[in-house]
Structure 1
Amino acid sequence: MDKIILVEDDDRLRKLVSDFLIVSQFTVLEYPDGSNLVNAVREHRPALVILDVMLPGEDGFTLCKALRKEYSGPLLFMTAKDDDFDQVLGLEIGADDYVTKPIEPRVLLARVHALLRRVNAKPATTASNTPQKLVYGGLVIDKTARSVKLGGQLITLTSHEFDMLWLLACRPSQVVDRNTIYEEIIGREYDGLDRSADVRISRLRKKLFDNPSNPFRIKTIWGKGFFFVADAWEA
């Protein structure tokens, strides 16, 4: 069974979420705060981390930043604040998704399954013409190793960021529409308001040394989607 680390200071909510996930065939390790989170992730190597935003001591945002220095697996925020600023900030610092409280168990389970499906997806081996490595100038994307190098430098990406880059790079010089991105990468339909894709594209640009004010490697085509520029990756 996949192992999940759950950090939530509300004892009742933590037990409710934990019991629901256990019934759904997950192993759950519970923590009331994040004081030992980094060590716990090192020791237990979870398939997923669920992290409350408002915690005693260090908050979820601070813990996420610390965790992302060595953990690239899926991370899901739980937040009591239905506020765009909190959601965007969470995604900007490395979360893969979020759910708002009060939590609907079926929504939480759907988000968990969507995150794990992407991580557990096996590389295609049946089609001989399916590439497992893409090279554009100095950019090398290895799907089997889930690694990215630019100019020989290893670029650390979260699982969502890697999948976003792979999707765009597999369709060079084409507009990839938002509906495709949300369905294939984020695991839900685009509602016209969700900014998750924009935040992840922004993070990709920063990590891949694109110009945030005038991007030339991953462009936004307003009203349509995003465009991976194939010849913009000099060695």
Structure 2
Amino acid sequence: AAEHPNILLEFKTKSDNIRYFLEHQPPANIVCSWSLNTPTIIRNEEHFTAPLEKRLAAARTMADRGINVAFHFHPMVHYQGWEEDYPRIAQQLMEQFDPQEVLFISFGSVTLIKPVLRQIRELGHPTHITQMPLVPDPHGKLTYPDDIKITMFRRMYQAFTPWHEQVFFYLCMEKADIWLATFGRVYESNEAFEADFGRRVMEKVGIPAAPEST
């Protein structure tokens, strides 16, 4: 990353092991991001991962060192009580972090390909994932119906209202009409999204974005 300052290198985790970053000073174009979920989902589905509070504490420690942080709510899981549990995490983030410390936040839903679903069954860990009402998407992946996704994404985006103008929000692997229903806007293409993401995030880091190819 230090040799290529015009790119952004992301380390994404569900762990609280940040020892390397505490022992070394990463360059400005490094971002450490955490996949977050509710305590209910972490306890029942995200086996062998750090609890929510430890993930947040690790991120807070990194931000205190001046290291860029970001967060992913992916996958968001639809279950009884989700509509209170997920916004509660949004409130925790807004209480524990300044929006200038957070480069971006993404939302995404449960999305599985059949071989992964088969592997989940074969591993035999306790799970309710295999019992969820998933439907095929246009690419053959299994995911939630659009109305469930839109309801969940809107709920979380609204929970972050105070940060809308200061943090870059996006959806992970979702089609244009779901973007429009969630954010009230949509990019014309993946290239347009990537260009805007790069420009806004690199500006926040303080590094000029790479020039667009012609």
Give your verdict on TM over 0.5.
Answer: no
Which is bigger in relative contact order (C-alpha 8 A, separation at least 6)? 2
For normalisation by structure 2, the TM-score amounts to 0.35
For normalisation by structure 1, the TM-score amounts to 0.33
More helix by share: 2
